[in-house]
Amino acid sequence: MEWVFALLFALVFLWYLTFTASRLDRLHHRVETSWASLDALLQRRAAIALEIAFIPSLDPAAAVVLTRSAYLAREAEMAERSEAEESLTNAIALIGESEDFHKEYPEISERLEVVTSKIRIAIDLHREAVATTKLQRSRPVVRFFRLAGRAPLPVVHPFEEVPL
């Protein structure tokens, strides 16, 4: 009689493992898609930053930081990318302090505003996806049976910690 229970238990456990594995797969997918949309928004911000950098009345120091960060934002290497995005965030905040900027370039300022608020949400989504995935991956069952497979551990990039 016991072997029936053992078999049943094994079956249930197997089902549980596959269930967890596919759940993890979904989570990884969520991390990837949330990063993809964040990435796209960041590229748009970089493009706007370049536009601002070409405004003739803008001071050259701001122009250098914006240009540099905008180009580095296309860099593939993540450590540098993150630095560039952080610079960009800080630089844009400094320029936004001036009321003249908003008055004189209402169109760019408006677009920047829109993209920034979208980035804010995208970062939240990405961070949330990463946090959930990491939490699930840290469970003993997942670690023991290597349910996450070869998927790299998702990370929150340092620039995402900087308030926009």
Partner 1 sequence: MRRKLRIGLVSPYGWDSPGGVQVHIRDLSKFLIANGHEVSVLAPVDDEDGIEEDFVVSAGKPVAIPYNGAVARVLFGPVAASRVRQWISQSDFDVLHIHEPAIPSLGLLACSIAEGPLVGTFHVAAQKFKVAFAIVPIVEPIVERLRARIAVSEVARETLKIHIETDAVVIPNGIGWDSFQGARPRLEWQLGKTIGFIGRFGEKRKGLSLLIDALPKIIESHPDLKVLIAGPGDPEEILKQVDPRLRTRLTFLGLLSEEEKRQFFKSIDLYVAPNIGGESFGIILAEAMATGVAILASDLSAFKYVLEDGKWGVHFEASNAEDLAVKASTLLSDPARLATLASMSSEGAKRFDWPVVAEKIMDVYDLVSGAGEKVVLASGNRSWNKLIRGRGE
Contacting residues toward partner 1, per CB under 8 A = 53, 57-65, 67-68, 70-72, 80, 83-84, 86-87, 90-91, 93-95, 97-98, 100-101
Of 20 and 109, which CB lies nearer to partner 1 in the complex structure?
109
Token pair for 157 = 């990039």
Quote the least distance from Cβ 53 to partner 1, whole Å: 8
Q: Are 144 and 20 in contact (CB under 8 A)?
A: no
Give dist(CA 78, CA 113) in Å, integer.
25
Quote the least distance from Cβ 113 to partner 1, whole Å: 17
Of 73 and 147, which CB lies nearer to partner 1 in the complex structure?
73
Of 16 and 71, which CB lies nearer to partner 1 in the complex structure?
71
Quote the least distance from Cβ 108 to partner 1, whole Å: 14
Give dist(CA 74, CA 134) in Å, integer.
27
Of 20 and 116, which CB lies nearer to partner 1 in the complex structure?
116
Handedness of CA 52, 54, 60, 66 (dihedral sign): positive
Phi, psi of 152 (to 5 degrees): -65, 150
Instruction: Please report, as a single letter, which amino acid is at residue 3.
Output: W
Instruction: Please report, as a single letter, which amino acid is at residue 26.
Output: R
Quote the least distance from Cβ 91 to partner 1, whole Å: 7
Of 103 and 150, which CB lies nearer to partner 1 in the complex structure?
103
Quote the least distance from Cβ 96 to partner 1, whole Å: 9
Q: What angle do CA 163, 132, 138 make, to 5 degrees?
A: 120
Token pair for 164 = 């926009």
